[in-house]
Amino acid sequence: MKRLCVSLIMLGMLTSASAMDFEHPAWGIRGAIGTDISLVPAFGGELSLAFDFEDTTWLEFDLGYFRSSYHWTGTTTVEDTTTNIVLLRANRLFNYNPDKPGTFYFFGSGVGVVNVYWEETSKSSGSYLDDSGGTGGGFIVSVGVGHTFAGGFEVKLDLPILIVFGGYYGTAVSPMLGIGAGIRF
């Protein structure tokens, strides 16, 4: 299954690369707020590079980093959890033109790395009780919608689904949600 997913991603990128306009790339940077793999608020950003594939279809490569921190107080314990997520994706943008205002749609796939660490302490004494964590990798698929405005400003609503293998969660399917805004130049 892993090999099939990687093969499809690579085939899509190689097929697209022959028709892309490499002379006029569009760089972008976005800040985002969303949810992590536990559906806890996460904050982060992405750096992207997009190439014109056809008139209104672009191929975008992005590198994203998201972090969440969650503090929970129960009746007898306090738990602090920190999650770090790094994503590398290729997105196909439809009805997209960075120079003209308009709504666009996208889907993408890629790979991700998730690191989770949590620590539990006693609420009454503050003493250490337990901790755990780990790092796992996986595949990501995503769909979304966005809107470009004049001057290169754009917003995106992204629904990524991360399929993690190994690490703290073992094998898990984790839907996330993100809303981002940034500039394309």
* Residue at token pair 């470009």: 148
- Give, in order, the Cα–Cα distances in Å from 69 to each of 58, 77, 83, 133: 34, 17, 6, 14
Parse the chain into domains and list their residue ranges.
Answer: 27-184
Residue 68 and residue 108 in contact, taking contact as beta carbons nearer than 8 Å: no
d(CA 108, CA 88) in angstroms, rounded, equals 10
| Angle at alpha carbon of residue 13, lines to 103 and 171, rounded to 5° | 90
Indicate the CATH number for domain 27-184. 2.40.160.20
pLDDT at 166: 77
pLDDT at 2: 60
* Residue at token pair 């129960």: 74
pLDDT at 139: 92
pLDDT at 165: 84
The pLDDT profile of the chain, 185 residues, written as one tens digit per residue, is 566 555 555 555 545 555 555 667 899 999 999 988 778 899 999 999 999 877 778 999 999 999 998 888 887 787 878 888 889 999 999 999 888 999 999 999 999 888 888 888 888 888 888 888 888 889 999 999 999 998 899 999 999 998 888 766 677 888 889 999 999 98
pLDDT at 133: 84
pLDDT at 75: 78
pLDDT at 62: 94
pLDDT at 28: 95
pLDDT at 63: 95
